[in-house]
Amino acid sequence: MSLFDQWQELADMERPEEEYNKFWNNYLEKEKAAYEDILDNHTEVITGKLSDLAKRFDMDNLTFIGFLDGINSSLVKEYDLNKLSEDSIVSLEVDFEKLFYNMLDAKAIWLSSLPQWDKVLPRDLREKITKDFNRAHIAVSNKVGRNEPCPCGSGKKYKKCCGANKES
């Protein structure tokens, strides 16, 4: 069983609520510390054996592979997590704009608002990424208004054409 499969099994394990919260709060603390380190050292491409990087970020190998699962889509080169072992060489070459966007998408405000971002991406760029993200996630209604032109192309108002037999 791969490290990633073991992580998924551990993460999906049924637990009492108190144990569940303890597990995830511990993970989230380690995740936050890892992102602080990565952002503090944003000019460095952090590279090494998976087991060594896990130690650097104060994680065990399974927790680190879980972290990799979260950051993987923000890396310049994504990894097939099922193929990684504790001896695999991992390079955390991060696309920071993509990482910021992905943090917004994950609703991880505790990560997208880290003060370390000030050294990595200018505030105006982060505001633009946030604006683009919000624009892309606006709910749009496909409902046609009664007095709008009918979408069938007849030239009539919707209420006098395809909407004539619809209840209001």
For 51-101, the pLDDT digits (tens) are 999 999 999 999 999 999 999 999 999 999 999 999 999 999 999 999 999
Predicted confidence (pLDDT) at residue 168 exceeds the cutoff of 60? no
8 A C-beta contact, residue 53 and residue 46: yes
pTM beyond 0.85: the answer is no
**CA-based angle 163:166:168, to the nearest 5?**
105
pLDDT band at residue 136 under the 50/70/90 scheme: confident
